[in-house]
Each structure stands twice: as structure tokens, then as C-alpha cells.
Structure 1
């Protein structure tokens, strides 16, 4: 599976056409379609909520439980200015809702290169063009290392768009470093262990826009997957649609305006030798309201080799083979993001 040159019609354009039926390439196989009647486990109605202002003797056990059982959780009192979170949502929404199609098209990403920076609708397309597409448009920003950052490729409107993205990027990096230290300590490791294993952050900020869908029961805004990097930090608006897989059931992540969703990704599962799990998640659509989310991905360099922490291997033996992150990424884009099969290939 690879990205090919032909670009897709933006999903927002399809939604604005008031079509009564979604095009065939957006229809999920019956077994993958969202089933809104499935109930979450009795003990869980949403992901855990963790207050980062608590003392470590209270905080670390809560963090350990969330990482072990869920791989995803909300954090509050995280240190990121609440006004900045609101501004990030606002500028992302402004791009999709205030600019016309010709203005947005100026920022189109390179369809011939996987995960290239800019505005797009399809990230994975097979050579036979048989890939089932997400009901989503997105704008991806390359923000770290600084050498990758080129704000001239980002929208000019509203005038403060670029400044907001830069400040938000810095705050997300600081929070990710704080969380990695806490997660390391919750495992009895040195606070720098996970960050040292990941190395220099490669950070991307992706604004995802999910227009109203005429047949939400047939589509997904984002297909089931686990993130391939280390840690993802996500904010969503009040519409809701993010779901996390827990014990074989899909659990809705209820929107919390001032909270940030933490999603552990595959490399963190490898580094923790499977003690902590990367979260399988997806996004569903609805017929009434557009939804917006902003995901900040923190990944290793492609030249980085990731392996389980030696201290954890000493306790239970290695559960994962080491992997060159660039090879893992290539596999992800070759096979597609279905569930966690790329990570499962590393199991010993």
C-alpha cells in the first residue's frame, strides 16, 4: 500500500454537496462498521482521568494503572495554558470552515509522499486504488526538530495561526517530556529512561476535520489503529467521536474541554517490554455536526533503534525484538494501520 499521485476530493466538499449516500470507497466492510449499540464494559464508561497536580505517591499508581489497563487517559492540571488549547482548536476550525476551497488548495500536501506536510484527505492509497478511505480531511504540520519547521507552509489566516501552532508545539513537547518522566518512574525506572530511548522528538501536529456524514453507520472518520510512535497528545471539541478499544469493546472518550488525551503509541509498548500498552483507537462520524480534533505526535527519528528497557527485560525476559523505527514506519505505510498487527510482528 502506498500513496499515489491522484488526489482525492476533499471530504468536506463531498459533505457540502449534500449527497445522500457516501461514495463506495468510504464504506467500511460490515465487520468494521461502527456499532453504536455496543456497550462498554460495566466498570468503564470512559478513559481514566488523571490530575497531574497530585503528589507522586497518589499520581504514579494511577498512571501505572491507566497505562497498563488502557494505554489512554485524560490529564488535567497539565500545565498547558487553557487559552492556548482553545486558540489551537479555533485556528484549526478556521482553516476548514472560513477559507474557501481555492484558498485551502494552496496548502495541499504532496500526494506522492507518505505523511507529507500540508492539507490532504487520503494518507494511504493502494496501487489498485482499493483502499477504504477515512471520512476526514486534515492539515499536518512538521514542528520538531526545529530544522523541519517551516511556518511559511502553514496557513496565513487568521493572522495569528502560525504563532499559535508554534507556541502549542512547544507546550506539547514540554508536557510529553513531563509525562515520559512520570511513566518511567511509575515503572521503577530512571525518570529519563523512556525519553532517552526515544531520543530527539520528531513532532507532528495534525488537525483532523470530520464533516457531517450522510451515512455514519457505514463509515469511520479514522479507522482502527494504534499510533506508531511514542506518545500522542490529543484535544477534541465538544462533538465527540473518539473511541478506545478496551477488552474487545469500543469505549467513547467523552470530550473534556480543558483536558488533554494521552495515547500511548507502539514504541512505548516496546520500550516498556509490554508492561504498558499502546491504545487501539478510532473515530466515528455523525450526520449532524462537523467534529475537530488536534493530535500531536511524538516519534523517534527514523534512524533510531527501539528495544525494551534492560531493567524490565531483566525481570521477565524480552517480549519484543528491537526494531529500527524507520523500518517500522515503512511497514505501517505498507500494510496500513489496521489494529496493531505491525507491532504484533515484533513479539517474541
Structure 2
């Protein structure tokens, strides 16, 4: 199809000689092995957000406790009854499909478009997907060109949700809620719209290779057929999607800021086998100069800025094709 990126042509050498489980680089084997793509399913905790809005203190405290426990134990939970309508989610998905289904040559000219992995050196580092990554401040500008009104509305509503969630999680670990209001602004937070085209070797490919998020918090709306898998108790499990639910993922920065109280979970997306899939992710990120420092002692991680963190990731990806992450910043 003329809207698909040229995966087959660009990565021809990888596809002709796909890595076997025996020949995979040991550096990646512990979290990128393709041998376990057929995994058990998992129903993460489902948090009923509407219960926070009731005039019942007991309900509110129960929901907060459930959220904090899930963030601490798993680093992930699903949010239901979040007041973002099914109609808006469906409209957003249609806008996204239209955006991705324009000819590849047109998409490739847009600065916020990306696909594959330009630094991949073997099949285990290849992400069979394409994405538009847009800062919140740029969505309205893109809307004028591509009619993304539902996407913009979704971003506005999710921003309000994130503010509520981080305030609850921050209070539990003695972080002032003003920290996020001061440092996580529309020009530093962004949306990533993803498309996972059908792939010829879905059992040997990732839609997105295993990683943890370089954010405080990530909110994901995934396709109804799923595709998201997480590393739970050293085993990969597929997250069973709840219709219209949002998935909340703790990122690296919250793990560092909370001094390990909250867990940044490693996750991946399997390649699409029979049908293309879509997802939208909202990343709550700080400005580059924001200092990430634990509020508790003894600190597990040394103090660093978000700029330092990003630059270290970029360096590692260029050198070894993968992100190393927080282990680079141990105290």
C-alpha cells in the first residue's frame, strides 16, 4: 500500500536473516527475546475514576489507595469511567487513521513523523510501526492542516486527568503537587499517535521494542484488539484491553522522583499479524531544565536534569541500539 513505510526494502538484510533465539545478543536477551511472544494474558487493576468525583470520603480514599498500590506494585493500571466519551475516542481514532493512510511520501515530509528504528543493527532492535509525535502546543497548528479536532480535545481532557493522578501519587511520597504544575507544561508534554502495519514476520518482530517510558506518567488508549505486553514478575504478559479504558503507565522519572516507591514498568507492543492496529499515548514530561531529585533519603538515584537523561538515552541508542535508562543514574 502506498501509505505503508518501506519496511521490506529498508530492512531487507534483517528479514532475510532473522535472529534465532540462540543467536540473539546477550545484552538484549533478558528483555527483548522473541521466544516468548506467545504469553499469558493479564487483567491489570481497573481504577474507577468516577468514584473520585462522588461526595463520599470513604470511596475517594479507597480509590486513591488502589491507585497508589497499583503504581507501587505493578507500575500500571487501567482507568475506567474517566469521563472521556466513547464517541470522542472513536472520532479520534478515525482522524488518526486518515492521518496515517495518506501516502508515505507525504507523511515522510512532516518533521514530527517517524517510523522503524534508524539505529537498528538487527531484527531485535526493529520496531515495525510508524508514529506522529506532537507537542501539545503544536496540535492546534497541525489541526489546521490535518483536521485533528478530536485529537486536540482528547489531549485537553487527558491533561486534566493526569493532573488529578499525579497529585494523588505525589502526595503519597511527599512530593508537592506544585512540582508538576510548575515543570510539566504544554510545551514539554506530548502525544504520540502510533500505527502498527501488518508485518510478514509478526512472531519475530516488535511493534515497539521493549522499553520503559522516559516520562513521569504515560496515558495510553490502545486498539480494541490489544497488542501491549508488560514484563510482570520476570515474565511477559499481554494486557487485556477493557473497551474505552485508558492505561496508566508509570515512567522512569516518577520512579526516580519517588525514590523507587513507584515502579517504571518495562513494556512492548507486538507486531500486527492480521490487522493494522492503532494507539494514542500521552506523555507527561518536564522541561529540559527540570531537576529530578528524590524527596526521600537515602537516595537511590543521583540528582539529574531531564536534559541529561534525554542526552544519555540518545547516546546509548546510537551506540548500542537500545535505551539503558535509570541504571545510568544510580547514586
**TM-score normalised by length of structure 2:** 0.83
Structure 1's unaligned 5+ residue stretches are 1-8, 110-116
Is 1:23 aligned with 2:12? yes
Is 1:182 aligned with 2:168? yes
Deviations 1:115-173 (A, max 9, x none): xx2x22145527x8999321011111121xx3xx264446834xxx3322222221121
Is 1:330 aligned with 2:319? no
After superposition, the Cα gap between the structure-2 partners of 1:283 and 1:131, relative to the gap in structure 1 and judged at 3 Å, is: closer
Equivalent in the alignment of 2:115 = 121
Contact 2:216 2:250 in 1 (8 A): yes
Equivalent in the alignment of 1:288 = 274
SS of residue in 1 equivalent to 2:4: helix
State the alpha-carbon separation in 2 of the partners of residues 150 and 293 from structure 1. Answer: 17
Contact 2:207 2:272 in 1 (8 A): no
Q: 1:87 aligns with which of 78, 86, 91?
A: 91
- 5 Å-filtered alignment, 1:1-348, equals 12-14=4-6, 23-25=12-14, 27=18, 30=21, 31=29, 32-39=33-40, 45-54=42-51, 55-97=59-101, 99-107=102-110, 109=111, 117=112, 119-122=113-116, 124-125=118-119, 132-143=125-136, 146=137, 149=138, 151-153=140-142, 156-157=145-146, 161-185=147-171, 187=172, 189=174, 192=177, 195=180, 198-201=183-186, 202-309=188-295, 312-313=296-297, 317-336=298-317, 341-348=324-331
Structure 2's unaligned 5+ residue stretches are 22-28, 52-58
After superposition, the Cα gap between the structure-2 partners of 1:213 and 1:81, relative to the gap in structure 1 and judged at 3 Å, is: same
Task: Compare relative contact order (CA 8 Å, sep 6+) and give the higher one, 1 or 2.
Answer: 1
After superposition, the Cα gap between the structure-2 partners of 1:278 and 1:327, relative to the gap in structure 1 and judged at 3 Å, is: same
1:218 CA drift (Å): 1.1
After superposition, the Cα gap between the structure-2 partners of 1:193 and 1:151, relative to the gap in structure 1 and judged at 3 Å, is: closer
RMSD value over aligned CA atoms? 3.0
Equivalent in the alignment of 1:4 = none
Question: How many residue pairs are counted as aligned between the two chains?
Answer: 308
After superposition, the Cα gap between the structure-2 partners of 1:340 and 1:244, relative to the gap in structure 1 and judged at 3 Å, is: farther
User: Where is the helix percentage greater, Structure 1 or Structure 2?
Assistant: 2
